[in-house]
Amino acid sequence: MPVLHNRISNEELKRRLYEETTPRTTVSFYKYFTIADPQAFRDSLYTKLFDLQVFGRIYIAHEGINAQVSVPATHYETMVATLYAAAPELNQIRMNIAVEDDGKSFWVLKMKVRDKIVADGIDDPLFDPSQTGVYLKAHEFNALAEDENTVIVDMRNHYEYEVGHFENAIEIPSDTFRDQLPMAVNMLEGQKDKNIIMYCTGGIRCEKASAYLRYKGFQKVFHVEGGIIEYTRKAKEQNLPIKFIGKNFVFDDRLGERITPDIIAHCHQCGTPCDTHTNCSNDGCHLLFIQCPQCAASFEGCCSEYCKEEKNLPEEQQRQNRAGRENGIKIFNKSKEHPLRKHRSEWPSHQP
C-alpha cells in the first residue's frame, strides 16, 4: 500500500527543493461541490499528486476542495487532467496561477480532511452557499468600482489588508473569517441599496461571503472572480489599470507577491515603510509580523529583545523555556493589545 503522508523531515525536503533546477508553477484552486467520502477522495488524489511531485496544502471536506500547490512546470497539464479525472465537478476548474513566483513556495504535500474547506462558523441549515453573488471579471470590477454607489469590501484578515488592498476598499477588522461574516453584515447594514463588491486572495472566501450577504437580505452583491490573483493576471494581460495597491499576502513560504511598487504598511518595530512579513525566528514564538531589514539585523529576525535573547540560549534551555508555553497561531494586530506589545508579560513565569 502506498505511503499516504510525508515521512521525511521538513529541513531535508526544503533542502531538496532549493537544489531543484526544474521550474515550478505555484497555483491555487478551489471548488464547492459535494464529496460523499472525503477521506477516500483525499487518499486517492494524494497518491496521484505525490507521483507528480506536487507540493502544497490541500483541504478536503464534504463541501469541496481548497488548494494552494506548487507543481513542476512539465507536470502542470497532467496535474490539471488528474483533477478533472478525480471528479466531474472539477472539469474546467479555474486555476489561479501566482503573479510573482520563484517556484519555492512549498516543499511538501499536505492533504487534510476537514469539516469545511473554509471555517465560517455558519451552522444555519437554511444557508445555501451556492447562492453566490455575481462574478466580476477584471474589466467589470474596474467599471463598477468607479460607481459612487459601490462599496468594496475586503474579506481577508487584517494582516493581509495591511500590506495591500483595492483602492477605497473597507477592512472588516478581524483575525478570522468566521468573525468577519457577522461583522460585515453589521458594518454594511445601512447600505443594502449599494453595489457590494467583495474580494479575497483567490476567491474562495468572498464567494461564500457573497452568498452569506445575500442570505442576510443584500440584493446587489458581487465578488471578484478568482480574487486578487486572477484579477491581477487578467488586468495585466488586457492592459487595464490595476486598482490594487501594494502587495498581495499569500499563505506559503513567499508570504507575499508584489502587485504594485507601493509600500503602504510599516515595520512593526520601528515604523519605517515596509511590507515584508516574517515569522519571529525564536522557536518559542514564531509571531507573524512586519519587519524591515534594519530591524531584522538588529533583532536577528526576532520580534523582541526577549526573543532574541532566548533564541541565543543553549538548545536545552530553549526547550525548557518552551515547555508548557501557549504557542498557537500568533499574528500581530496593531489595533489590539497583541503579542508584539505584551507577549513578554504573558509568557510563563520562568522568563526574566
Tell me which amino acid residue 335 is: S
How far apart are alpha carbons 157 and 180 in whole angstroms? 8
Pairing of strands 109-113, 55-61: parallel
How far apart are alpha carbons 331 and 287 in whole angstroms? 6
Please give the domain boundaries of the chain with CATH numbers for all domains.
Answer: 10-113 (3.30.70.100), 134-246 (3.40.250.10), 277-344 (no CATH)
pLDDT of residue 335: 53
pLDDT of residue 96: 87
Distance (Å) of CA 72 to CA 25, 50, 230, 280, 332: 6, 12, 21, 30, 34
How far apart are alpha carbons 290 and 263 in whole angstroms? 12
* 233 close to 244: Cβ distance less than 8 angstroms: no
Residue where the block lists cell 483525499? 42
Please give the residue that has the higher pLDDT: either 105 or 312.
Answer: 312
* 264 close to 236: Cβ distance less than 8 angstroms: no
Mean pLDDT of the 120-140 span? 89
167: Cβ contacts below 8 Å, ≥ 6 apart: 145, 152, 243, 244, 245
pLDDT in tens, 172-217: 988 788 889 999 999 999 899 999 999 998 888 898 999 999 999 9
How far apart are alpha carbons 286 and 282 in whole angstroms? 6
Within the chain, residue ranges assigned H as helices are: 10-19, 38-51, 76-86, 138-145, 158-163, 177-187, 204-215, 227-237, 293-298, 305-311, 315-322, 339-346
pLDDT in tens, 142-172: 999 999 999 999 999 888 999 999 999 999 9
Name the pTM for this structure.
0.76
Environment class of residue 273 by beta-carbon count within 10 Å: exposed (0-12), middle (13-18) or buried (19+)?
Answer: exposed
pLDDT of residue 351: 36
How far apart are alpha carbons 61 and 284 in whole angstroms? 32
CA angle centred on 169, ends 239 and 143, rounded to 5°: 40
pLDDT in tens, 255-270: 888 999 999 999 999 9
pLDDT in tens, 71-100: 999 999 999 999 999 999 999 888 988 877
Pairing of strands 288-290, 277-279: antiparallel
CA angle centred on 26, ends 22 and 30, rounded to 5°: 145
pLDDT of residue 346: 41
78: cell is: 497532467
Active site residues: 200
pLDDT in tens, 267-301: 999 999 999 999 999 988 888 999 999 999 999 99
